[in-house]
A and B are shown apart, each in its own frame.
Chain A
Amino acid sequence: MPASDQVAHATPDPTSATPSATATPALELRDVTVRFGGVTALSAAGLRVAEHTVHGVIGPNGAGKTTLFNVACGFLRPDEGQVVRRGETLARLRPHRLASYGMSRTLQGLGLFDRLSVLDNVMVGADRHGRSGFLGTMLALPGATRDEDRLRERAMEALERLRIAEHARRYPPSLPYALRKRVALARALVAEPTLLLLDEPASGLSSEEMDELAALIGGLSGEMAVMLVEHHMDLVMKVCDRITVLDFGKVIADGSPAEVQQDPAVVAAYLGDDVADLDADTGPATDPATPTEA
């Protein structure tokens, strides 16, 4: 496969998607420092999410993953450093502007609209593609009606992609957690972002559901860049093209899954005093101490 495919909008081969150092990344964090009172949650952390790659951010509890995530999507303004999206510095990014930068994120608490149907939930996600205004909606002008039909179609496509179309008319509280999670993902995807930020997408999923999720995320890199914060190691190792490892607010490693797994600093951070903890989390197959496919 020619190297130019990495930047073109064709589906890249995930194995060859190692980002070149010169291409403009989908998102770049430069020397980001965040302090909460006396605690430094992030100290000069930096990362580059290349276009059309899946970029994982991992680290032990309290490493600063969530803080980094919140900086990336503008929820938190860093004390120092910059967030750069496709070469443009995002200063004072207000959350409702996120969508206009082609960014979409999921929330750990899902944040579904409980009194709207599943379809309407996803249609809210598609809202940035809507064109009808106040008067058009109020008078139900033909243009507004067509616009509404288009949004509904898009939303149904997203629901079908996540295989929850049959629940379109139900309300989120009546669905089991795993399905609600898919609704949240459909709502993020329907905006057709070019950068998708996923906050712990695997939490609370069974192992089969996690396999499904991995297949889905893997398939997304053809359309967008994905950054995910996750502590399920097997999911991260399976789907990510590149991984940034945080510990105590600092980036301790950055590289392909294989590189990261063998990095002594990562092994020390994870294995430190408590080997059993990692075993419980990931199972033996992805234990960094024993290289996979040995």
Chain B
Amino acid sequence: MQMLSRAWRHTLVRHATLAVLGLLVAVVVLMSVDDFRNRQLTELAYMALAAGGLTLLTGINGQISLGHGAFMAIGAYTTALLLQDPETALPLPLVLLASLLVALVVGVLVGVAAARLHGPYLAGATLTLAIAVPGIARYFSTTLGGEQGLRVTSPEPPAWFLDALFFLTGTEPSNSQYYAILGWTLLVVVFFLLANLIRGRVGRRWAAVRDDEVAAELAGINLARARVSAFTVSAAVAGLAGALMAIQIRLAAPTAFELTLSLTLLTAIVLGGLGTLSGAIIGSVVLVYTARIATDVGTAQGLDSIAAAELAPLVYGTVMILVILLAPAGLVGSLLRWRAARAARGADRRTTPPAARPTDPHHPDGPADQQRRPVATTKGDQP
């Protein structure tokens, strides 16, 4: 038991166990629900993936990006171009890798510029990106399909995959299940890698740069390098998410990557709590499902489809306002904060006996307490 708890403290053991368990649960769930649910869960996977990348950038490294949808677009269009002709199409893993790499390269370029910008200026620059990229897709209508976008010939599941799942579950997975399992596998693997980064030296540097630039620099951290690397990783993950999105919706079109997508991602990480990967998942769940549920409820209440669809932004907004009012650190962030505060109270109780606390100079209440003491007592203390 003790050995288990010691092993658990090791980052790799902890993250790998969570990843394997997560993957098992995901496969079981995905294999037991219908195609409709699988498509929803795929959407959840790519949204959570992109939100995880953004969490690292905004939550851990403190750089805001209003343009992460643009990196998703870059990944989606790369995938669409590579899968256009079924005859010459590359194998899927290579397509995904290529989408990731293209987004990564663009991420380096944008990151180098972003490293020099702060706060509202960075927000402005990334906003431009969110607006420009769909515009570029519209402009180059011959190669990128213009307003209609590019059709994506989504690949069929490979034979080994069908065999493996048939062996494991006794049923043949549908295409939707294939994409869903692909999406969740990518989500788990990428989050495993991101969690390692965040918990390790790299993430500590990112967070140090976020909290205090001068002090981070004094510790020997190259600010520009830390910022650019965070931006790059984040963009690459978004590119991968975009590739998955293109495969799922079988289309890469400008309308799918408008500013709303970027803002949705940002909303997701704020809802979940900045700076935690679990927050990114929970935020994405809230976003993907509140919209669906609101629309369903609206339709059930006899609203026509347009009015029902308009309920979603209303519920979105309400949830957002409630979270900011009631849990400003986000859903997961507030939970962690509550736990830290409880641990701190516990530590205080252990280090300072209750009787010693009022006069303890280390205790924040100490001096105030002394001031409240009557003057006579203070004089009496003097010999």
Question: Interface on A for B, CB 8 Å cutoff?
Answer: 73, 95-100, 104-105, 107, 111-116, 120, 123-125, 127-128, 130, 132, 134, 137-140, 144-145, 147-148, 151, 166-167, 169-171, 174, 176, 178-179, 187, 191, 206, 208-209
Contact = CB atoms under 8 A, between A and B. Distances in A.
B221 A138 contact: no
A128 B212 contact: no
Contacts of A132: 200-201
Contact of B212 (A112, A130, A145, A147): A112
B217 interface: yes
Nearest to A131: B201
**Across chains A and B, which 9 residue pairs bring their CB atoms closest together, nearest first?**
A99-B220, A111-B215, A113-B211, A137-B200, A140-B12, A95-B217, A128-B220, A140-B196, A111-B212
Contacts of A147: 201
A236 B135 CA distance: 65
Contacts of A96: 217-218, 220-223
Given A132-B200, A140-B15, A107 B219 contact: no
A187 to B, nearest CB: 7
A96 B214 CA distance: 9
Contacts of A140: 11-12, 15-16, 196, 200
Contacts of A171: 340, 344
Contact-size category for B = 35 or more
Interface of B: 10-12, 15-16, 193, 196-197, 200-205, 207-208, 210-212, 214-223, 229, 275, 340-341, 343-344, 347, 350-351, 361-364
Q: Tell me the interface secondary structure of chain B in the complex.
A: helix
Given A137-B200, A138-B196, A169 B219 contact: no
A145 to B, nearest CB: 6
A273 B217 CA distance: 42
A292 B215 CA distance: 39
Given A116-B207, A116-B208, A179 B11 contact: no
A116 B351 contact: no
Nearest to A129: B220
A5 B205 CA distance: 39
B196 A137 contact: yes
A139 B362 contact: no
Contact of A176 (B15, B221, B364): B364
10 contacts: A96-B220, A96-B221, A97-B220, A116-B204, A116-B207, A124-B215, A128-B220, A137-B202, A166-B350, A170-B343
A209 B193 CA distance: 44
